[in-house]
Structures are given as C-alpha cells and as structure tokens.
Structure 1
C-alpha cells in the first residue's frame, strides 16, 4: 500500500514538474514574440519618420535621414534573407557570422547618425556628412553583397534540384509508356509434336 501511494505521489510530482516546464517555455515564447513584434513596430514607425524627413527637411538634416534609411533598409533586408536560408543551408554559417559583425558597425553608425539629428550646428553636420556617407556606402555595399550572394546560392540550388527532378520525371515517363505486354515464349519441338498427335481413344 505504501509503495502504491509513493508511486502515485511520484507520478503527481512528475506531472507537476512537466507542467511547470511547459508553462515556463510557453511564457518565454510569448515574451519573445511580444518583444519581436514591438521591435518591428518601432522599426516601422521610425522608418516612416525617416522617409518623411528625407523629403520634408532639406539640407544636412534630410541627408542624415536619407543615410539612416538606406543603412537600415540594406541591413534589415540582408538579415531577413540570411535568416530565411540559414536554417536549411549550413553553408551560410560563415556569412551569418560576418553579417553579425557588420551589423555591429551598422548599429554604431545608425546611433551616430541619430545623435547628429539633434545637433543644432548645421555646419558641423555638413562637415561630417562626407565621412558618414562613405561609411554608410561601405556598410550597405557589404550587406548587399552578402544578400545577393545568398540569393544567387538559393537560386542555383533550386535550379539544380529542378534539373535533377526533370531528369527523374523524364525517366519515369519513359518507363510508364512501355505498356505493351512481354511476348509469349515460342513453343518447343515437343509442344508441336504433342499438338499434332491425335488423342488416344479411351
């Protein structure tokens, strides 16, 4: 009796522990989803503001908005392209590692551009624009190169797979068209003699 009670208590404790683990994992997943949605929402709002300032604020202020928008668009697009393929293509691991380093430089530059948006001295902004524009160009060029290479790689794999599939289908289609039954074997000499000999009388 004591053994049965102990076993029931052990099972109950196991179920409680599993329930707690599942609850914690669910809460973490929900929190990550909320954080991701919040980040994306803030990014959309900020990008919309940058687009508006690019056209409504002439001079250095508009140029800063243009640089930030180009930087964010290129980095975000590359991140999306690499994340979409990295799970299925282990060959992109080195590209992902390089992009993370590049994203660090992009984040630093974006923060610097954002800080300059509050700079009241327009002459100082204008003096910095040449260097900031060059850094933006180098980062966006590197990000675009990684994104385009990943896209070309995915397209090449898709073309190779499609070509192999086409060859397999052609072979199968050819096999399916051989519907004529195999010819029956010709009778031997013994069979001919048996056919010509009249049956014996009973």
Structure 2
C-alpha cells in the first residue's frame, strides 16, 4: 500500500513538473511573439512617420516643411549612428563607451524630436518661425555629434581591417617566396651534374663527395641516400665475393654438399 502511494506521489510530481515546464515554455513563446509584434509595429510606425515627413518636406512650404525636414535629418542621423555602433560593438568591445555617449545624445535627440513634433501642430506659425533658427542649431549640434561617432566607429573598423589585410599580405608574400625557392630546382644544374658524373667513370675520387651531394649540401638540403652511399664507400671489386641480396635464396652450406 505504501509503495502504491509513493508511486502515485511520484507520478503527480512528474505531472506537475511537466505542467510547470509547459507553462514556462508557453510564457516564453508568448513573450517572444509579443516582442516580435512590438518590433514590427514600431518599424511600421517609423516607416509611416518617415514617409509623412518626406511628403511634408517636399510637398509643402514654409514652417511646416522646415520642421519636417529637421525631424527627418535628426531621425536619419540618429538611426544610422545607432546601427553602426550596435553592429560594430559585436566585433570591437571598446565601442561600449561610444554607445554610452550615444545613449546620452539620444535623450537630447528624443526631446528635440518631440518638440518639433509638437510645433508641427502649433497654430501660431509666426512664433514657430521665430524659433526655427534655434531649432536648426540644436538639430545641427545633435546630428554633427552623431555623425562624428558614426564615422569614428567606421574609421576604426576600416583601420583594423587594413592592418589585418597588410599582415595577411606580408605572410602570403613570405609563403609565396618559400614556395618559389623550393620549386626552383634547376634542370640545367642536374644535367651538368649527370654529365660530370659520367665523365668521371661513374664514381668520384676517394674521399670526394658526389656532385649532387655537394650541390644539395650547398643548398642547405640533406643529400639523397644514393649520393651519401656513393660518397662514403669504395668501388666494388668484381673479383670479390658476391653479396646475396635479401630476395636470393641462401647458398648451400659446405657440410651439406659433402
């Protein structure tokens, strides 16, 4: 009876664990879907606002067109800088300080954009026109600062890329030189060595190295096995006892013949 109760309790624990895990997975999926929808809506809203601002800046004149152009310039500069910094920090961690500065600059940008947006609905166009010079100056300061951060990040990335490319090119040149040096075996030198060998009755003088061995030693490469043997052993005597090669059968022993 106690065993059955333990089994039931264990089954309930497993069931509740699966239910909890399922609820957690569902909540994560819903949260991810909500964030995706929010991003889509935000992007769509930005696209609509940008299209509206472009239409106002080109299709209207006066204060309305000026305000729309200021907002368009501000938003374009800030978005380009944001994209450049957040993409660049993935490869260069030092851009985190630049991102912190950009976040502070973004607060000023948002305040200015909100003010320009309110002034678009302001009925007193005369007073709004009087404030345009100051608004242009504030917009210019913010966009110039954003542009400076963006171009500095791009210059830094290009400098790193140029340095890496220069180092890679130098390594490739060294490797290419080594490959060309090893592939520069002169056929004429080998032919001259063979002719010299034939003219010397096929063997060098006692104590003298073979021409190929001397030439290989001069290049800093080890001599071949044949050249080392020709250089270090005397000429064979045809009248001497013949040496059996490993593939020949052993000669019969004298006692076996008797």
TM-score interval w.r.t. the shorter chain? 0.7 to 0.9
Summarize the alignment of residues 115-194 of structure 1 with structure 2, pairs less than 5 Å apart.
115-177=118-180, 178=182, 183-184=223-224, 186-187=227-228, 191-193=232-234
Provide the rounded CA distance (Å) in 1 between the counterparts of 2:175 and 2:231: 41
Deviates further, 169-178 or 148-157: 169-178
Normalising by structure 2, we get a TM-score of 0.68
Q: Could you tell me which runs of 5 or more consecutive residues in structure 1 were left unpaired when the two chains were aligned.
A: none
**Structure ID, larger Rg:** 2
Residue 162 and residue 69 in structure 1: after superposition, are their counterparts in 2 closer, same or farther (change >3 A)?
same
Q: Could you tell me which runs of 5 or more consecutive residues in structure 2 were left unpaired when the two chains were aligned.
A: 186-220, 243-250, 252-258
Deviates further, 46-55 or 160-169: 160-169
Provide the rounded CA distance (Å) in 2 between the counterparts of 1:153 and 1:12: 56
Summarize the alignment of residues 78-117 of structure 1 with structure 2, pairs less than 5 Å apart.
78-117=81-120
Question: Which of structures 1 and 2 has the larger relative contact order (alpha carbons within 8 angstroms, sep 6+)?
Answer: 1
Normalising by structure 1, we get a TM-score of 0.85
Provide the rounded CA distance (Å) in 1 between the counterparts of 2:114 and 2:70: 12
RMSD: 2.7
Residue 75 and residue 189 in structure 1: after superposition, are their counterparts in 2 closer, same or farther (change >3 A)?
closer
| Residue 122 of structure 1: how far off its partner (Å) | 0.8
Count of residues in correspondence between the two structures:
201
Residue 159 and residue 19 in structure 1: after superposition, are their counterparts in 2 closer, same or farther (change >3 A)?
farther
Residue 8 and residue 175 in structure 1: after superposition, are their counterparts in 2 closer, same or farther (change >3 A)?
farther
